[in-house]
Amino acid sequence: DVLPVLPARCSVKIQPLSRAVARLIDNRPSFSRLSVENLDRPSRRRFSAEARIDLHGYSMDVNNTLEAFCAKCILLGLRNVVITTGKGGGVVKNATLTWLKSNPKYVVGFFEIMDARGESGAIGVHLRRM
């Protein structure tokens, strides 16, 4: 059972894709009242990744890549995705967490995926429906 892996540096034009998804999402009720919350334990247990993206090698500027990735997943009907940031210094991870918290149009919730040693190098994200 192989998950689709969408390349981090995909050939999809970011702006048209993001605008298309934004138009579809903007026609729905206001997201101004919503906040992105960490997923609760039952939601984490039911989480099954449908796509993943690897941000190794990125610097702090991950916003456009994350927006394009989330927009593409929403258009494809994928709701549970994994974003791999790596365990390193945390620059990419912090930028990713900041983006996830500030984009309730795309993100319902997220949680850090812990390994056997309790370290996190990936984030599980639950995306909104179209």
Mean pLDDT of the chain: 75
pLDDT of 128 > 60? The answer is yes
- Return the pLDDT at 48: 81
Report whether 80 contacts 126 (CB < 8 A): yes
The H or E element containing residue 51 is strand 51-54
Tell me the backbone φ, ψ of residue 128, rounded to 5 degrees.
-70, 160
- Which one has a higher pLDDT value, 129 or 59? 129
95-110 pLDDT per residue, tens:
999 999 998 888 988 8
For residue 75 the two structure tokens come to 């258009």
How far, rounded to the nearest angstrom, does the alpha carbon of residue 33 sit from its chain's CA centroid?
20
69-89 pLDDT per residue, tens:
998 899 889 999 999 998 777
Report the length, in residues, of the chain.
130
22-43 pLDDT per residue, tens:
666 555 554 444 445 666 666 6
- Return the pLDDT at 53: 92
What is the value of pTM for the model shown? 0.71
Neighbouring residues of 32: CB distance < 8 A, sequence distance ≥ 6: none
Residue (of 1, 25, 21) closest to 69 by Cα position: 21
Indicate the pairing of strand 80-84 with strand 51-54.
parallel
pLDDT level of residue 112 (50, 70, 90 thresholds): confident
Report whether 52 contacts 20 (CB < 8 A): no
- Return the pLDDT at 96: 92
